[in-house]
Amino acid sequence: MTDRTLVTLTDATFEDEVGASSVPYLVDFFADWCAPCHALAPILEDFVRERTAGLRAGTLDIMESPAIAERFNVSSVPTLILFRHGEPVLRLFGSKTTRQLATALSPFLGADGKASATP
């Protein structure tokens, strides 16, 4: 993947983006009023841009796209869910550091940052 930026997801675009992704897809479920969400945003942007060639990532505002948030039982924000082939495989809660993200995602990414065949 050459474009390593966060995609803005909505109820309407979620399946086409996340469900159709051939690599793991990290979704940041957030709300505009959430201070920890704002703290996490630049960390996640840097993580995606600098470390993870084999990972797609996007953000989903739970207030503007409640159907997807409800579907995946997101009841607090920020919540990060890693999807593989459209299915959730990892769930993280609260703001994270770059190191915490790297540690949590390492079973799903190879040492080079590309998607791992198996976690």
Considering only CA atoms, which of 73, 70, 64 is closest in space to residue 32?
64
Active site residue 32: no
Maximum separation of any 2 CA atoms in the chain, in Å: 37
CA angle 103, 3, 111 (to 5 degrees): 30
Active site residue 34: yes
Torsion of CA 93, 53, 56, 51, to 10 degrees: 30
Of 18, 26, 34, 68, which residue is the catalytic one?
34
Of 6, 26, 27, 37, which residue is the catalytic one?
37
Give Cα 71 to chain centroid, integer Å. Answer: 16
Considering only CA atoms, which of 89, 12, 70, 79 is closest in space to residue 44?
79
Q: Catalytic residue numbers?
A: 34, 37
